[in-house]
Amino acid sequence: MRRLIRIVTGAAAVAAFWPALALAHAWLESSIPAANGTLAPTAKEITLTFDEDVKPVSCKMANEAGKDASAFGKLSAEGVTLHVPLTARPAAGKYKLTCRVVGPDTHAVNGTLDFVVGSNP
């Protein structure tokens, strides 16, 4: 009987804290350009907005062939928004931007954004 009480108590404790554990990491909520959207030819930066404050770690951008196309200035964050300044305009095509950030819980997470430069097929 005591063993059953311990199991039930333990399960209740896990259930009570599960929502907090599941939501502990920063999640990408929006971006400019939007996911699968088009980057304006005159854009000077890409922004990623997370659900909680973040600190930048790194970003990489690859074209659709998987070749590195990163051309960034110094990454910065203001609260929930990560700023990725572009030092060169990417050529027309499809790209994947992956940025690693750290949230208040100190766990690093990746935010990924697919977009196109030029006309969106």
Domain annotation for the chain: domains and CATH numbers: 26-117 (2.60.40.1220)
pLDDT digits (tens, 9 = 90+) for 40-69: 988 999 999 999 999 999 999 999 999 999
Name the token pair of 115.
């977009």
* Cα–Cα dist 28/67, whole Å: 24
Match 């005159």 to its residue by tokens: 42
**With contact defined as beta carbons under 8 Å apart, do 61 and 33 qualify?**
no
Split at pLDDT 50, 70, 90, the class of 121 is: low
Q: Residue 13: what pLDDT?
A: 44
Q: Is the pLDDT of residue 31 over 90?
A: yes
Mean pLDDT across the chain, nearest whole number?
Answer: 85
Which H or E run contains 98?
Answer: strand 93-102
For range 93-107, the mean pLDDT: 95
End-to-end CA distance of the chain: 64
pTM for the complete prediction? 0.77
Q: Is the pLDDT of residue 114 over 90?
A: yes
Retrieve residue 27's tokens: 């999640």
Q: What are 121's two structure tokens?
A: 């097929």
